[in-house]
């Protein structure tokens, strides 16, 4: 009996092993640890197998949206067209080799024998086939009742649930998307006993397109987070233009409603990085480096690094807010390398000796970042991941994130004592690989400054003009 | 011995699995709601500490992962007062769920109703889950999964429409309308006002 009881726990241990999430890829491979086999390819993002494109998804045969009284608002055909258009947003990225196709209706599974998927039991059975890698279901919860039976609140617009991975070759194998059609039923009664909320078609489609980003292997990204503190609505167009669709949550007007493309430069860069094609090298260069504590030697994981294009003087737009791409330092490194202190937990699946199977253990990656950017002249800055981005809102491998005392720019005289707003610029051409853009954090007095890490500017007085730009010609 | 061998074989096959099953998703996309709406929507609102949180399959819906959370309740802002509170939430992202309900974590939870499958979640998901901590001044503060962004949007207007009188302090907080941690006492006060449980 003891053995029989332990089997589910062992299976569960395997199934629930967490992921290293990072600004960029959602899942990153890790090495074999002890008796545990390797998890994909060490330090490489999990992606869909590009040799097996297009990714085939299957759509719920029911309508996309119906009212609570059963009146169809968006029928199946119109719903499928919407879904195809959402996938097409990602497929349309000319610098990425990513494609999707509608393989037809959901495959039968257990109690689900076809037709409109309506019940939690049917959902459970279809998810079982997704977990077995048999299909990528796109499920219409036309009236929101499925979500209610799953105990989810009416504010849920939709979600993505990754299902299966090829842990030998590092591929995503199957994934599911659920969308709440109640948001499109034309009824907005936020104060009623049965709350019914509404979104514009563009806002709804962008929410689901965000979930398709996760479906495709993308994590959350953080850029223009100051919008949260401004609290203005509608959001400033320049700020919104640079705000990733993969930002942890939506709070501005729909990008399309503001006349902007659905994907931001950050979204385009990351999907192109994960799925490069022949055009990518002609359209992007990369900036890479490491983030260090004040000692100039110890790497810092979990801070948000942003490359922003330098604002052009000939336009009314602020390009520095519009064109920006980010990565979280250490996004390829595990957020939990493992230790034995918490390993003696009462339940077997809580053993943390080997840590998280996600992410590399190569110490050179702890503070490493790499950002693909369109050709241009950039500044590079670091900031904290927003403190509230925890758990499902997480950005990067650490949750909760670590805090920086001050944001800081990269300059050619990096040190732990430089002026944080002093910034140098980096010119990137297509195909360039600009390396060693390392930032040493200020105000980290617990880490001893190593004079060998500094160019000598540490002895200089702080500059009087924080906006001074210094052209870096190494690119 | 045979059972042991079968168990080990199963585990080995799973560990080397192709395909392997795993959940690789983050939180759902949700519509932002204000505190008055969240408070009204919640079936029960408690303040307490997580005593235990375990990830396990739903007992009936075995392909769905759930987190079962038990809390020691220090205060009930809405609903029947109780010393302990447990719930089962459907999660498609166990790693993040585990972070959200870490053992010992002090939380204010605005929980929605329990479904026919025994499942419930915070209203607004990340919006109805407030982490309680001490700030640098030692003040007890609370912040939800959106950094309290938009928490008081439209609150005053709706209160006027409903003829609800907000305390001077709550009005002051509403007027600030800033994202960021909120003193717990102010959050409690506001919730009790909106939930009508003062």
Is residue A467 located within the same domain as residue A447?
Answer: no
Retrieve residue B57's tokens.
Answer: 């399959």
Domain-located, residue A270: no
CA A292 to chain CA centroid, nearest Å = 23
Is residue A210 located within the same domain as residue A324?
Answer: no
Interface test with A, best of B26, B91, B135 (most A CBs within 10 A): B26
Domain-located, residue A1: no
For residue A347, the chain B residues in CB contact (below 8 A) are 54
- Beta-carbon pairs below 8 A across chains A and B: 266
Classify domain B31-195 at the CATH class level: mainly beta
Contact criterion met (CB < 8 Å) for B125 and A153: yes
Q: What are the CA-CA distances from residue A90 to residues A151, A261, A278 (Å)?
A: 31, 11, 17
- C-alpha atoms less than 13 angstroms from C-alpha of A403 in its C-beta half-sphere: 3
Flag whether residue A214 sits within 8 Å of chain B, measured between CB atoms: yes
Flag whether residue B1 sits within 8 Å of chain A, measured between CB atoms: no
Is residue A450 located within the same domain as residue A467?
Answer: no
Domain-located, residue A69: yes
Helix (H, G, I), strand (E, B) or coil at A96: strand
Is residue A260 located within the same domain as residue A325?
Answer: no
Closest CA to A139 of A98, A109, A97: A109
Closest CA to A273 of A22, A21, A20, A25: A25
CA A427 to chain CA centroid, nearest Å = 26
Q: Is the C-alpha dihedral spanning A128, A133, A135, A136 positive or negative?
A: positive
- For residue A167, the distance in angstroms to the closest alpha carbon of chain B comes to 6
Buried b (16+ CB within 10 A) or exposed e, A382-420: bbbbbebbbbbbbbbbbbbbeebeeebbbbbbbbbebbb
Question: What is the predicted pLDDT for the residue at B192?
Answer: 92
Angle at which helix B168-176 crosses helix B184-195, to 10 degrees, equals 110
Mean pLDDT of B16-21: 36
Question: What is the predicted pLDDT for the residue at B3?
Answer: 41
- pTM comes to 0.88
Is residue A323 located within the same domain as residue A238?
Answer: no
Main-chain phi, psi angles of A311, to 5 degrees: -60, 130
What is the largest distance, in Å, between two alpha-carbon atoms of chain A?
76
Is residue A208 located within the same domain as residue A320?
Answer: no
Flag whether residue B26 sits within 8 Å of chain A, measured between CB atoms: yes
Non-local (6+) Cβ contacts of A312 within 8 A are: A319
For residue B10, the chain A residues in CB contact (below 8 A) are 7, 10-11
Is residue A376 located within the same domain as residue A466?
Answer: no
Q: Which domain holds residue A258?
A: 8-265+462-472
Q: List, as one string, the DSSP characters of A302-349.
A: S-EEEEEEPPPTTSSS-HHHHSEEEEETTTTB-S----STTTS-SSGG
Retrieve residue A306's tokens.
Answer: 């942003």
- Which uninterrupted H or E stretch holds A409? strand A408-409
* Placement of tokens 């003087």 in the chain: A313
Is residue A320 located within the same domain as residue A447?
Answer: yes
- Strand pairing partners for A427? A377
Flag whether residue B7 sits within 8 Å of chain A, measured between CB atoms: yes
Give residue-wise pLDDT tens across range B74-129: 999 999 999 999 999 999 877 777 778 888 899 999 999 999 999 999 999 999 99
Is residue A162 located within the same domain as residue A58?
Answer: yes
- The chain-wide mean pLDDT, for chain B, equals 84
CATH code for position A338: 2.60.40.1120
Main-chain phi, psi angles of A124, to 5 degrees: -60, -45
Torsion of CA A101, A106, A108, A112, to 10 degrees: 160
Flag whether residue A151 sits within 8 Å of chain B, measured between CB atoms: yes
Main-chain phi, psi angles of A408, to 5 degrees: -155, 145
Main-chain phi, psi angles of A365, to 5 degrees: -100, 0
Question: What is the predicted pLDDT for the residue at B173?
Answer: 85
Retrieve residue A368's tokens.
Answer: 């490493």
Question: What is the predicted pLDDT for the residue at A368?
Answer: 97
Helix (H, G, I), strand (E, B) or coil at B157: helix
Domain-located, residue A3: no
Is residue A245 located within the same domain as residue A374?
Answer: no
Is residue A84 located within the same domain as residue A130?
Answer: yes
Helix (H, G, I), strand (E, B) or coil at A301: coil
- C-alpha atoms less than 13 angstroms from C-alpha of A25 in its C-beta half-sphere: 28
Is residue A344 located within the same domain as residue A239?
Answer: no
* Domain spans of chain B, in order of start: 31-195
Residue B2 has pLDDT above 50, yes or no: no
Provide block-wise average pLDDT over 10 residues at a time, chain A (475 residues).
32 34 80 92 97 98 96 98 98 97 98 98 98 97 98 96 95 97 94 87 97 96 90 90 95 95 98 97 97 88 96 90 96 84 56 84 94 98 88 81 85 92 96 97 58 38 30 30
Domain-located, residue A271: no
- Which uninterrupted H or E stretch holds A173? strand A171-180
Domain count, chain A: 2
With CA atoms as reference, the chain A residue closest to B142 would be: A388
Q: Taking a C-beta distance cutoff of 8 angstroms, is the pair A114, A37 a contact? A: no
- Chain B, 140 to 169: residues with Cβ < 8 Å from chain A are 143-150, 158
Flag whether residue B75 sits within 8 Å of chain A, measured between CB atoms: no
Q: How many CB atoms lie within 10 A of CB A171?
A: 22
Helix (H, G, I), strand (E, B) or coil at B183: strand
Angle at which helix A201-215 crosses helix A76-91, to 10 degrees, equals 60
Domain-located, residue A2: no
For residue B89, the chain A residues in CB contact (below 8 A) are 151
For residue B148, the chain A residues in CB contact (below 8 A) are 388
Residue B14 has pLDDT above 60, yes or no: no
Residue B196 has pLDDT above 50, yes or no: yes
Domain-located, residue A200: yes
Contact criterion met (CB < 8 Å) for B121 and A11: no
- Rounded Cα distance between A85 and A456, Å, is 55
Helix (H, G, I), strand (E, B) or coil at A295: coil
Residue B157 has pLDDT above 50, yes or no: yes
């Amino acid at each position: 009996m003891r053995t029989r009881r332990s089997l589910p726990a062992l299976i569960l241990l395997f199934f629930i092993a967490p992921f290293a999430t990072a600004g960029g890829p959602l899942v990153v491979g890790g090495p074999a640890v002890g008796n545990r086999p390797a998890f994909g390819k060490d330090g490489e993002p999990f992606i869909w197998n590009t040799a097996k494109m297009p990714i085939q998804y299957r759509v719920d045969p029911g309508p996309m949206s119906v009212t609570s009284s059963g009146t169809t608002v968006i029928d199946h055909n119109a719903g499928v067209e919407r879904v195809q258009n959402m996938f097409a947003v990602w497929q349309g990225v000319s610098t990425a080799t990513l494609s999707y196709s509608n393989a037809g209706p959901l495959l039968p599974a257990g109690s689900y024998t076809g037709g409109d998927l309506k019940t939690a039991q049917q959902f459970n059975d279809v998810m079982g086939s997704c977990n077995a890698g048999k299909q990528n279901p796109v499920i219409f919860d036309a009236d929101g009742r499925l979500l209610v039976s799953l105990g989810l609140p009416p504010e849920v617009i939709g979600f993505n649930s990754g299902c299966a991975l090829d842990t030998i070759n590092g591929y995503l194998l199957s994934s599911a998307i659920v969308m709440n059609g109640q948001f499109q039923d034309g009824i907005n009664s936020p104060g009623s006993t049965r709350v019914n909320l509404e979104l514009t078609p563009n806002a709804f489609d962008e929410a689901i397109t965000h979930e398709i980003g996760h479906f495709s292997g993308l994590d959350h990204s953080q850029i223009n987070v100051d919008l949260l503190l401004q609290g203005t609505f509608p959001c400033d167009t320049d700020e919104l233009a640079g705000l990733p669709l993969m930002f942890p949550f939506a709070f501005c007007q729909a990008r399309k409603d503001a006349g902007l493309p659905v994907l931001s430069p950050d979204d385009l860069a990351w999907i192109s990085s994960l799925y490069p094609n022949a055009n990518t090298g002609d359209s992007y260069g990369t900036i890479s480096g490491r983030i260090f504590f004040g000692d100039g030697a110890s790497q810092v994981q979990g801070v948000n690094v942003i490359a922003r294009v330098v604002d052009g003087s000939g336009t009314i737009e602020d390009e520095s807010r519009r064109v920006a791409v980010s990565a979280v330092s250490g996004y390829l490194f595990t957020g939990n390398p493992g230790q034995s202190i918490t390993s003696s937990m009462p339940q077997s699946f809580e053993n943390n000796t080997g840590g998280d199977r996600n992410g590399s253990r190569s110490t050179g990656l702890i503070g490493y970042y790499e950002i693909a950017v369109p050709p241009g002249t950039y500044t590079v800055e670091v900031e904290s991941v927003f403190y509230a981005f925890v758990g499902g809102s997480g950005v990067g491998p650490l949750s909760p994130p670590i805090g920086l005392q001050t944001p800081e720019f990269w300059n050619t005289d990096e040190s732990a004592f430089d002026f944080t707003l002093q910034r140098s610029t980096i010119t990137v051409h297509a195909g360039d690989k600009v390396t060693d853009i390392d930032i040493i954090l200020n105000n980290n007095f617990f880490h001893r400054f190593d004079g060998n890490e500094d160019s000598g500017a540490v002895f200089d007085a702080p500059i009087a003009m924080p906006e001074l730009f210094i052209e870096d010609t190494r690119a | 011995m045979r059972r042991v061998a079968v168990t080990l074989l199963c585990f080995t096959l799973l560990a080397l699995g192709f395909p392997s099953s795993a959940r690789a998703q983050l939180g759902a996309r949700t519509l932002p709601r204000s505190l008055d709406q969240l408070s009204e929507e919640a079936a029960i609102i408690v303040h307490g500490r997580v005593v235990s949180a375990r990830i396990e399959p739903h007992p009936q819906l075995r392909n769905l992962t759930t987190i079962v959370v038990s809390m020691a309740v220090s205060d009930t802002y809405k609903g029947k007062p109780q010393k302990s509170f447990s719930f089962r939430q459907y999660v498609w992202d166990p790693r993040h769920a585990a972070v959200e309900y870490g053992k010992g974590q002090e939380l204010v939870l605005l929980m929605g109703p329990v479904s026919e499958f025994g499942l419930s979640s915070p209203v607004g998901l990340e919006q109805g889950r407030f982490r309680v901590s001490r700030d640098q001044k030692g003040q007890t503060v609370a912040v939800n999964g959106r950094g309290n962004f938009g928490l008081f949007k439209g609150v005053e207007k709706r209160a006027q429409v409903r003829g609800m009188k907000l305390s001077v302090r709550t009005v002051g907080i509403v007027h600030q309308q800033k994202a960021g941690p909120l003193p717990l006492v102010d959050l409690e006060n506001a919730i009790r006002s909106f939930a009508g449980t003062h």
